[in-house]
Amino acid sequence: MPTLHKPAIYLPEHIITLEETLDLAKKNFKDNPNLEKSIELITNTGVKKRHIIQPIELATLHPGFGYRNAVFEYQSKRLVPNVIEEALSHADITAKDVSAIIYVSCSGFLMPSLTAWLVNKMGFPLQTVQIPIAQLGCAAGGSAINRAHDFILAHPGSNVLIVSCEFCSLSYQPTDGDIGSLLSDGLFGDAITAAVVTSRAGNGLELQRNSSYLIPNTDEWIRYAVKDTGFHFRLDKRVPGTMAPLAPVMAELASTHHWQIDSLDYYIIHAGGPRILDDLCKYLGVQREKFSYSRDTLVNCGNIASSVVFEAYRRMHEDSIFKSDQRGIIAGFGPGIIAEMNLSQWRSAEISRLTA
């Protein structure tokens, strides 16, 4: 069965704290009638700090969409290779062992995809299948895991590299003063993550069953308005309520695999905000502490879009919380509104050798 190995992460050196975020909002939007409500919402996210790719003095400027996209290209090419090398080492493979690269991002645009540059730069086989995913937003992390799962089932013996590069701060819009935009200014952070899915077993999550689901008639609730100035994030106030229809879908996926959604051993959940996590706990019937790693990611990194599920899993892996054969679910949510879900089971290297 395909195995998701320990991810690698890069968090930019520039940090903005909650206090600095609130000070900036008060300074830049002091006459905005939405300021007071936005400050309340930002404070309630629980985000204490975020990492951003540029110093805050540059991040809050807007020299143009072209310039920002050039920053995205330069920084991704500068930083992604080292994250990939670490992820490959975690899976004990090299670039030449990779059959496909799934590259996800919702915060910059390159054509050809960064995958083509990576093949040339890092020595991946020229036959490497390139699968860029650009428009699934925060759900793209879960989608990348699912597509890697599918690829390996279709191509036994293959290995898939997943790369998530999210520089959300490059979408800051200094003239957008609606509540959704102000909230996103205090919620999103930047990160690069990478992880390998192999055909062979090892210390990792054995991917067993995946599924996707779209909530009908919600495609306008999370979106970009693409203008001359770039990506303008639009967030409908109804988004936090979407866990009510998604929880039964997650429960149904578990039941088709003869598992119970409320009695799994671990939950790797996209941390879109505290209400998303709180509501999902309630509707799934699980204890709050079951989502502790997702919550910690939100607190210490903010919403890092498609990278959230990889960072939460990475810290769970590092803390050695998994025991052999434990069962769990990975779930990412994003524009559409969609859910990308995968049921998985922990396999240790020792057990894998005994059952091989």
Cα–Cα–Cα angle for 143, 148, 154, rounded to 5 degrees? 125
Pairing mode, strands 204-214 and 3-4:
antiparallel
Structure-token pair, residue 30: 């002091």
Amino acid type, 131: I
Instruction: Determine which one of 138, 165, 168, 301 is catalytic.
Output: 138
168 is catalytic: no
Structure-token pair, residue 257: 């695999």
User: What is the DSSP code (8-state) at residue 188?
Assistant: B
Structure-token pair, residue 216: 């009908």
Burial class for 60, CB neighbours closer than 10 Å (0-12, 13-18, 19+) = middle
Residue 344: beta bridge partners? 207, 328
Give the list of residues 6+ apart from residue 151 with CB closer than 8 angstroms, or none: 99, 100, 129, 131, 158, 160
Side-chain-side CA neighbours of residue 124 (13 Å): 24
* Active site positions, annotated: 138
